[in-house]
Amino acid sequence: MPTTRNLLYKMNMNTCCSVTLADGQTTNVLLADDIYDLSAHLSEYGNNVLWVLDGNTARLIRPLPTPRVILEPGESAKNWRGTERILRAAVEEGMARDGRFIGFGGGVICDMTAFAASLYMRGCRLTLVPTTLLAMVDASLGGKTAIDFMGGKNLVGTFYPAQDVLICCDTLKSLSDKEFLNGLAEVIKHALLAQDEELYRMLLLKKHQIMGRDPAVLRNLVELSLKVKQSYIERDPKETLGIRQALNLGHTFGHALESCGRFTTWSHGAAVAWGTCRALEAGEKLGITDQRYASGATKLFAMYGYDIDYRIGRGDWQLFRQSLLKDKKKQDGLVRFVLLEKQGKPVLTTIELKLLQNLVISSPI
């Protein structure tokens, strides 16, 4: 993959942030100016690496690096079978604990590569190269690893932060609008959780540049979004204090919706957008969320074309409810939802069954 030309770009990797997590573990997030810059940095890792890609990201690298594992694209590969393929390849290559797994792809690849790295010889080195907006602002940072299990989204996983996260916004040019919006939903969520309104204003005022994939605007968008996530995960690295759980805004509703569609009907981002709007509506009905703020935030999602008014059919309620009961944020048998008082003010609370039904079912039971 690397060439002599690539090495000329070596000094252009800029540090976006250095995130300190549990036990003093640090993740360095580096931004590449372009794909050549990214390639040059990857060449520094040498040959003691195992690449993990999917069928989509494999097309971004020519020639393909070795050794490698190429998984099927999408959520269907996020399971024990896919994890075993990664681990088997590492064993067959004779990799030791000082080997490095490089996950090059979207959220599924980042989650699975990190999960496999946390298991291999009780933990080998890990670098993530997120190639989608969703992976850049969410899946690659924070140390969460996971696979889906028995119909539960991210039900099995570990905390295992990457040493390096390498981001190159050039890869976003290859995304379809649907996949780009899949990640943008997480950016909007971060904008609502931010302590200031800089990211929120950017989303309001620069829609044309954002959807047009303007390089400078996208770079700023990604940096601001990552800074929001950093502010939550550094204060609560292993999600034990109730602070980091705020990043699950919209996810309890959203994961249940994904489950109803067997993880094929709804993209993660579209489900999170829908779920965040349900959380805003719930907060408004419970007197927690300022009505004007809820209205403005909901309109922001609508402005980018998300289906925020969808309701499930009555026949889907039991499956939706079963998914809610598998939620990882459940405490003492009760599911707690992330709601918002106002900008940057999350609240964790339970929601009564009747209100839940009114929020999500087209004709409540």
What residue segments make up the domains of the chain, in order of their start? 4-175, 241-360
Contact between 32 and 41 (Cβ < 8 Å): yes
Other Cβ atoms less than 10 A from the Cβ of 68: the count is: 16
The mean of the pLDDT values for the chain is 91
The pair of three-digit structure tokens given for residue 144, joined into one six-digit string: 């969460």
pTM attached to this predicted model:
0.90
Q: What span, in angstroms and rounded, lies between the C-alpha atoms of 173 and 31?
A: 16
Residue type for position 216: A
Residue type for position 360: V
The model's pLDDT over 184-231, given as tens digits with 9 standing for 90+, comes to 999 999 999 999 999 999 999 999 999 999 999 999 999 999 999 999
Contact between 90 and 132 (Cβ < 8 Å): no
Q: What pLDDT score was predicted for residue 343?
A: 97
pLDDT reading at 243 higher than 80: yes
pLDDT reading at 26 higher than 60: yes
The pair of three-digit structure tokens given for residue 322, joined into one six-digit string: 């079963």
Topology of the domain covering 241-360: Dehydroquinate synthase-like, alpha domain (1.20.1090)
Q: What pLDDT score was predicted for residue 329?
A: 67
Nearest to 21 by CA among 238, 246, 328, 248: 238
Contact between 158 and 145 (Cβ < 8 Å): yes
Q: What pLDDT score was predicted for residue 46?
A: 87
Contact between 51 and 102 (Cβ < 8 Å): yes
The model's pLDDT over 132-176, given as tens digits with 9 standing for 90+, comes to 999 999 989 999 999 998 877 888 999 999 999 999 999 999 899
pLDDT reading at 2 higher than 80: no
Nearest to 355 by CA among 304, 268, 259, 288: 288
The model's pLDDT over 84-105, given as tens digits with 9 standing for 90+, comes to 999 999 999 999 999 999 999 9
Q: What span, in angstroms and rounded, lies between the C-alpha atoms of 253 and 162?
A: 28
Q: What pLDDT score was predicted for residue 365?
A: 54
pLDDT reading at 70 higher than 50: yes
Whether 4-175 and 241-360 share one fold: the answer is: no
Q: Looking at domain 4-175, which CATH architecture does it have?
A: 3-Layer(aba) Sandwich (3.40)
Q: Give the residue numbers marked as catalytic.
A: 122, 144, 186, 229, 239, 244, 248, 251, 255, 268
Q: What pLDDT score was predicted for residue 286?
A: 97
Q: What span, in angstroms and rounded, lies between the C-alpha atoms of 66 and 52?
A: 10
Q: What span, in angstroms and rounded, lies between the C-alpha atoms of 75 and 265?
A: 11
